[in-house]
Amino acid sequence: MDHSNKLIIFDIDGTLTDSVALYHKVVIDALKLMGISNIDTDFYHYKYHTDSYTLKVNYENWFQKPYHKDLLAEFEEILYQELLKYPPVQEIIGAKNCIAQLQKAGFSIAFATGSLPKPAMLKLEQCKIWFDPQVLTTSEISFDRETFVLQAIENAKQFYKVNHFDGIYSVGDGIWDLQTAQKLHLNFIGIGTKQKTKLKELGCLTHFDDLTKLASYFI
């Protein structure tokens, strides 16, 4: 069966890679290396749960001057170098095989993450999960998730050479992933156990504890 007119957009941290706790530590260390001492570490209460917004909030709070986008490249490189200091991150169970099975079945795959490009790609590479930079969109594009998810869809149309997708699915582990999918009217599938109860309370109808059975749900 041809599934090429269906797109599945994956979040990365906590969805494909078991990296949430480590990455929070790396973000804090990177902010300190940029000279920011007083860091708001309650990331879950930020307006946007993205690297670019985290830098903006803490930069402006500490230096008392406006954030400018030129800082992003420096922050991205520090995040990447700090991440390299730790053992490679591991996949969420079944992630690598899930992506491979969906590709083999003809689904279009894209990635949308609150991370920045270099650390995002490193995490996927460490888990040996297929990706192409052309279908990876990040918070380099915007603070808010809706904008870079919409960009992920446009990039996927170009990459897979289609004018539209008959079905678009968003796969994520966070409340922000669900809320973004709801705002954009995308089909949402929740992953992981940490936010499972809350996701279901907020309207998540399909959920898997890991990625071992996700491909069979689609195929």
CATH 3.40.50.1000 is the classification of domain 6-19+90-218: yes
User: Left (φ > 0), alpha (ψ -120 to 50) or beta: where does 217 sit?
Assistant: alpha
| Cα–Cα distance, 10 to 219 (Å, whole number) | 17
Q: Residues of 62-98 as b/e, b for ≥16 C-beta within 10 angstroms?
A: beeeebeeeebeebbebbbebbeeeeebebbebbbeb
Q: Is the pLDDT of residue 4 over 90?
A: no
Helix (H, G, I), strand (E, B) or coil at 114: coil
* 168-191 pLDDT tens trace: 999 999 999 999 999 999 999 999
Residue 187 neighbours by CB distance under 10 Å: 14
* 203-217 pLDDT tens trace: 999 999 999 999 999
pLDDT score for 42 = 87
Burial of 217 (0-12, 13-18, 19+ CB in 10 A): exposed
pLDDT score for 44 = 80
Q: Is the pLDDT of residue 122 over 80?
A: yes
pLDDT score for 2 = 56
* 125-171 pLDDT tens trace: 999 999 999 999 999 999 999 999 999 999 999 999 999 999 999 99
CA distances from 207 to 96, 183, 204, 214, 216 (A): 18, 19, 7, 9, 13
State percent of the chain over pLDDT 70: 98
Q: Comparing C-alpha atoms, which of 103, 138, 120, 85 is closest to residue 7? A: 103
pLDDT score for 123 = 98
| Cα–Cα distance, 191 to 7 (Å, whole number) | 17
Mean of per-residue pLDDT scores for the chain:
95
pLDDT score for 45 = 84
Helix (H, G, I), strand (E, B) or coil at 115: coil
The dihedral through the CA atoms of 130, 134, 137, 138 has a sign that is positive
Cα Rg, the chain, nearest whole Å: 17
Q: Is the pLDDT of residue 92 over 70?
A: yes
* 26-67 pLDDT tens trace: 999 999 999 999 999 988 888 898 999 999 999 999 999 999
pLDDT score for 3 = 62
pLDDT score for 157 = 97
Residues 6 or more apart whose Cβ sits within 8 Å of residue 120: 12, 111, 113, 136, 138
Residue 26 neighbours by CB distance under 10 Å: 21
Q: Is the pLDDT of residue 1 over 80?
A: no
| Cα–Cα distance, 147 to 150 (Å, whole number) | 5
pLDDT score for 43 = 84
Q: Is the pLDDT of residue 104 over 80?
A: yes
Q: Which residue has the tokens 């079905």?
A: 167
pLDDT score for 82 = 98
